[in-house]
Structure 1
Amino acid sequence: MFGLIGIVVIFVMVFGGYILAGGKMAIILKSLPFEMMIIGGAAVGAFLIGNDMSVVKHTIKDLGKVFKGPKWKPGDYRDLLCLLFELVRLARESPVSVEEHVEDPNTSPIFAKYPKILADKESVELICDTLRSVSMNYDDPHQVEEVLDKRMESTLQNALHSSHALTTMADGLPALGIVAAVLGVIKTMGSIDQPPEVLGKLIGGALVGTFLGVFLAYGLVAPFAVRVKAVTEEDAHFYQLIREVLVANLYNHSTNICIEVGRQNTPAHFRPSFVELEEALKTVKQSAA
């Protein structure tokens, strides 16, 4: 929602100010299709040259984050803590029983209670792989922490590829705007024998290229890149919570303490209150009884 509001504000303020200052949109509108073809086409072409198909698809998909915001909402963090509570408690009571949930989470009645989490491949694999490593006696907390840190760092870096690609595009757009402007000047020089009013329009059209390159770079693409990065990093906290709870479990803290460690490490604006989480866990215990 804020993304759409921001775009509207940009266009209204920039072009509204231009019109109020006495500027005429006719020159911009006449040159816009050709300048956009040159600048936008070159930017897309450079983007395709600099990135493989997986990054291109990832970037197109991640553009939705500008408008949708983070994938994980406050209720999802509460559900994750409840899921981890059930799994950790079961692993303490019966290590053999938890294996069926870890080996095939899609048929697990515990995972089935949390369909959004179950649908997220990274979350499920992170939980199952860590619990599976414990059953393999790979239970040195320091070793597990190191493995999890490297895994999450790699996952985050891969998720940030789209943001880096958009940032690179934003950096190149002003230069492409200059390319379009130079082509406009070349066109103008071919009509140097024309009267001033004609030359003025041609020069104005050429300058639209410079304007468009800078406007697209700093008014749209760069903010998109920043927003995608911010949302991606915010969603990474969800996986960090899994790490905190499962590592606390390896240190043999009580199940409730493990969950409290996770709650405390949840970002403040997503963190469920102690009472809210306690009520949710009470419901989980009753359903399991």
Structure 2
Amino acid sequence: MKLLLLGAAVIAGSVFGMFWLNGGQFETVFHLNELVLVVGTALGAFLVGNTSRVLGDLRAVVAAAMRRRRHGEAFEQELLTLTYTLLQTSSRDGDRALDAHLDDPARSPIFQRSGHVLANTKLVDFTVDALRVAALSKGSRGELDSLLAMEIESRERRMMHPVQALHKLAESMPGFGIIAAVLGLVLAMYDIGAGAATAMITRQVAVAMVGTFFGVFACYAVLSPIANRLSQSVAVEMTGYECVRAAIIAFLSGKTPLLSADAGRRMLQYGALPSFNALEGWVRGAEDGR
């Protein structure tokens, strides 16, 4: 968030601050009619060009980015301890005992201790399904690994659809600005034919150029950076799925629950990669808190 605010301040200072220092007046830049034309056209094009599912996925991607920012290391700790505890339950008490937790994660004491993870319902569903399939496919971990990899790839593609749509919208913004400029020039040409004063014509041309400015500014200073940030967030979000996948495959390969959780640890990118000692401490804390 600090970098986001810093970047916004630098953009505002560089563009509008230098405009003001060079004698520009803000009222000459901010014209509501041009802004409504550019933003309204962009919004309409975005709604026409995307399905309701993509719009819903965009909300989910933004929510995931905000959730990751709030949780950070707490999410990593809960995910790793949850993975370890589930695998330890399977190893010590058998798959039947594990099923009791997988049947209703919201009421499972194991899942309830991991509130941040439990809030990520898609990751919980993936974990539950993966563990169920793992219990049925022991001895065929290669096939399960490929299956989980394909599912993760499919989930990532879906999460990237709204980000790609936002990238395309950003690329289109200069064109919407040109539409506003052309319409402004049409009005100026009409007034020239009607014998309007030169000062009035010049003012209309300047207003028309404001539309182009809005389009270019929205593309390169607003939407493109946001889309790029969301694409990075999606990549990091998927490491949670990779963590679960790596841990389960390691467990099926004969690794202990702790070493299996360590295999998952190496997939995480939510913050600074936690050390093995940190993982061991989290696991001991989870065992002591049982």
Look up the match of 2:7.
6
Structure 2: gaps spanning 5 or more residues: none
Look up the match of 2:49.
50
Map Cα deviations across residues 228-265 of structure 1 (whole Å, 9 max, x no partner): 11112111111111111011011111222212212233
Would the aligned equivalents of 2:240 and 2:267 in 1 still touch at CA under 8 Å?
Answer: no
Structure 1: how far apart are the matches of 2:282 and 2:56?
38
Look up the match of 1:160.
160
Structure 2: how far apart are the matches of 1:60 and 1:80?
23
Structure 2: how far apart are the matches of 1:81 and 1:196?
71
Q: How far is 1:52 from its partner?
A: 1.3
Look up the match of 1:234.
236
Counterpart of 2:272 (choices 252, 270, 280) is: 270
Structure 2: how far apart are the matches of 1:287 and 1:93?
18
Would the aligned equivalents of 1:174 and 1:210 in 2 still touch at CA under 8 Å?
Answer: yes
Q: Percent identity among equivalent residues?
A: 27
Look up the match of 1:151.
151
Structure 2: how far apart are the matches of 1:256 and 1:212?
54
Q: How far is 1:223 from its partner?
A: 0.8
Look up the match of 2:17.
16
Would the aligned equivalents of 2:160 and 2:231 in 1 still touch at CA under 8 Å?
Answer: yes
Structure 1: how far apart are the matches of 2:208 and 2:105?
60
In the TM superposition, 1:50-89 aligns within 5 A as 50-60=49-59, 62-63=61-62, 70=69, 72-89=71-88
Map Cα deviations across residues 13-69 of structure 1 (whole Å, 9 max, x no partner): 10111121222333223xx21111111111000000011122223324544677776
Instruction: Please give the secondary structure, in 2, of the residue aligned with 1:270.
Output: coil
Structure 2: how far apart are the matches of 1:249 and 1:52?
40
Q: Number of residue pairs matched? A: 286
Look up the match of 1:188.
188
Structure 2: how far apart are the matches of 1:274 and 1:88?
17
Structure 1: how far apart are the matches of 2:251 and 2:199?
78
Look up the match of 1:214.
216
Q: 1:47 to 1:33 in 2, by over 3 A?
A: same
Look up the match of 2:32.
33
- Stretch of structure 1 that moved more, 81-90 or 117-126: 117-126
Amino acid at match of 2:142: H
Q: 1:88 to 1:223 in 2, by over 3 A?
A: same
Q: 1:145 to 1:68 in 2, by over 3 A?
A: closer
The TM-score normalised by the length of structure 2 is 0.91
Look up the match of 1:110.
110
Q: CA RMSD, aligned part only?
A: 2.0
Would the aligned equivalents of 1:106 and 1:118 in 2 still touch at CA under 8 Å?
Answer: yes
The TM-score normalised by the length of structure 1 is 0.91
Structure 2: how far apart are the matches of 1:44 and 1:268?
32
